[in-house]
Amino acid sequence: MKIKTKLLTFIGGSSILLLVTAFILLVIMTTEKIEKDLFKQLENEKINISKQLDDLITTSARSYLSAVGNESEHIVDTYYRLYQSNELSFEKAEELVLKSLTEYNFLESGFIFITNNDGIIISHPDAKKIGTISPMQAWIRRQKDDERNFKSYEESNRNKIVYRVYNKNFDINICVTVFTSDFISALDMGELNKTISNINIGDNGYPFLLNKYGVVQTERDSELINQNILGYLDADNNKIFERIITDKDGYFTYKWLEKDGNIKNKFASFLYEKNSGLIIVITGYRNEVFGTVESIKKFLIIFGSILIILLLVIIYFIATTITTPIVHFTNRLIDISHGDGDLTQRMTRESKDEIGIMVNNFNYFLDVLHDMVAEIKDSASKSYELKDKIVYRINETSASIKKIHSNIVSIKNQSKQLKDSDVETLSNYLINSMTQISKGSEKISNSMDSVTENTLLLEQNTDKLIRKVNRFKI
């Protein structure tokens, strides 16, 4: 695998992997953030509507309970005057007060109960609760005699409101209470409908109110007001409004069949409002509200793709910048090692980085190698000349030795022909000496032959060395 391929594979692959991972995390985090903001916006809208309902109902409830409280005081005062006129005893008057007040009912769930100053119930429509501690005992104890206050509390997952009036004649606390949802009928629903219908969620989304029976209380489409929509089905034949009433609080998406026959994705975000007992429903087309999320996803994907392509181009440019001098360096090495062996060639140093340092040292190596080859070439030439001289001298010596040997043999032969007794002894001595000289000459001749062979071998090796050295250009 080439260096450029390795760089592109490892650096490019790692960078792209990290970049893709970063973009995936960015898309996830961004979309989650936007979706959270959108859900928060929906929650805020529901809370705002809930506050509007709460304010309207609370105002209506307080006004109504104040009137009931005043009426109860009138009843108490009536019996107290009968006591003062001696028409009733105090005990009888008190008994009739408690009976009259606990029998007083209003709206769907309103009634009156009586406590003493310790918060103990002494009269209640439900006889089982007489003698028990009132749910707002601590609150009652904190009230001053001349204070008339309201308090909200929860019972059976529904909001109630109580109005307390103290009567000093009988030393009792008159508590007028009712579920706040009873006052929904007292509200101006037309005005409330206008207020709620002006809230826009996306281009076509809007909120509306639904009671626990599935009857529409407010709607932009006036024809749906007071209509029961529990039986309405989505495109998958699911009773979506029945689910809303059952769950009371939540969010889900569904497919809705439009009048033109098209099926579109819609959402429903809903919240149970305890004061009114109504369910606040916000519905709209998902692509209108969450379209921003999809647009950002597409933008990030396109931007990420462009960034990846740009990154690949940059990595390719960097890899090329790094590998070009290396390729050039490698090609010059190939030329020197497999080509004509031109030691005069030098690398061009184009940078001061590690590659430039390597080129500089390689040029220095070529300088040293050039000098070494020049010295070897010069030594080889001198060796070649010396070889010629040695061969010439050896040939001369060999010829001389052979001539001496021939003369010795001739003297030996002539010495054997001498018959005089005087020279016999000398002849024998000469013969022996000549024989030894002849043998030594033969040995010298053989040694000279060996020297000649070695000299020829040296000649051949010297020729090879010279041919190799001559390949280099110096």
pLDDT digits (tens, 9 = 90+) for 105-146: 999 899 999 999 999 999 999 999 999 999 888 998 888 888
Residue 163 pLDDT grade (very low, low, confident, very high; cuts 50, 70, 90): very high
Residue 313 pLDDT grade (very low, low, confident, very high; cuts 50, 70, 90): confident
**Residue 211 gets which letter from DSSP?**
-
Q: What is the pLDDT of residue 444?
A: 60
Can you tell me whether residue 335 is helix, strand or coil? helix
Residue 450 has pLDDT above 70, yes or no: no
Cα within 13 Å of Cα(345), Cβ side: 16
Calculate mean pLDDT across residues 228-252. 93
Sheet holding 278-285, edge to edge: 216-218, 206-210, 278-285, 263-273, 250-257
Residue 293 has pLDDT above 60, yes or no: yes
% of the chain residues with pLDDT over 90: 32
Please tell me the distance from the alpha carbon of residue 389 to that of residue 376, in angstroms, as a whole number.
20
Please tell me the distance from the alpha carbon of residue 291 to that of residue 348, in angstroms, as a whole number.
60
Q: How far is CA 290 from CA 255, 296, 371, in A?
A: 15, 10, 79
Average pLDDT, the chain: 81
Residue 51 has pLDDT above 60, yes or no: yes
Q: How far is CA 104 from the centre of its chain?
A: 66
Calculate mean pLDDT across residues 76-88. 94
Contacts of 112 (CB under 8 A, 6+ apart): 68, 72, 101, 102, 104, 174, 175, 176, 177
Bridge-based pairing of strands 216-218 and 278-285 is: unpaired
Bridge-based pairing of strands 216-218 and 110-115 is: unpaired
Please, what is the angle between helix 422-471 and helix 354-416, to 10°?
160
Q: What is the pLDDT of residue 409?
A: 66
Q: Which residues of 91-130 are buried (b: 16+ CB within 10 A; e: fewer)?
A: eebbebbbebbbebebbeebbbbbbeeebebbbbeeeeeb
Residue 8 pLDDT grade (very low, low, confident, very high; cuts 50, 70, 90): low
Looking at per-residue confidence, does 1 or 58 come out higher?
58
The pLDDT tens digits of the residues spanning 362-383 come to 778 778 877 777 777 777 677 6
Polymer length of the chain: 474
Q: Which of 11-15, 67-71, 386-390 has the lowest mean pLDDT?
A: 386-390
**Tokens describing residue 211:** 């009671």
**Residue 8 gets which letter from DSSP?**
I
Residue 286 pLDDT grade (very low, low, confident, very high; cuts 50, 70, 90): confident
The pLDDT tens digits of the residues spanning 175-214 come to 999 999 888 877 778 878 888 888 888 788 889 999 989 9
CB neighbours (10 Å) of residue 63?
A: 11
Task: Return the ∠ at Cα 409 (arms to 404 and 414), rounded to 5°.
Answer: 125
Residue 84 has pLDDT above 90, yes or no: yes
Q: What is the pLDDT of residue 39?
A: 82
Q: What are the DSSP calls for 298-312, one per residue?
A: HHHHHHHHHHHHHHH
DSSP H helix total and E strand total for the chain: 10, 11
Q: What is the pLDDT of residue 473?
A: 60
Q: Give the H/E segment covering residue 152.
A: strand 149-155
172 forms beta bridges with: 167
Q: What is the pLDDT of residue 451?
A: 59
Residue 339 has pLDDT above 70, yes or no: no
| Phi and psi torsions of 418, nearest 5° | -70, 130
Task: Return the ∠ at Cα 448 (arms to 447 and 449), rounded to 5°.
Answer: 90
112 forms beta bridges with: 176
On whether the CB atoms of residues 115 and 173 are closer than 8 A, the answer is yes
For CA atoms 335, 337, 340, 346, give the dihedral sign.
positive
Can you tell me whether residue 272 is helix, strand or coil? strand
Residue 282 pLDDT grade (very low, low, confident, very high; cuts 50, 70, 90): very high
User: What are the start-end ranges of the E strands in 205-359?
Assistant: 206-210, 216-218, 250-257, 263-273, 278-285
Looking at per-residue confidence, does 6 or 244 come out higher?
244
Q: How far is CA 420 from CA 93, 271, 411, 425, 435, in A?
A: 202, 161, 16, 10, 21
**Tokens describing residue 166:** 């103290």
Q: Is the model's pTM score more than 0.75?
A: no
* Range with the largest mean pLDDT of 62-66, 314-318, 452-456: 62-66
Can you tell me whether residue 364 is helix, strand or coil? helix
Cα within 13 Å of Cα(448), Cβ side: 19
**Tokens describing residue 327:** 């390729």
Please tell me the distance from the alpha carbon of residue 102 to that of residue 125, in angstroms, as a whole number.
5
Q: What is the pLDDT of residue 425?
A: 64
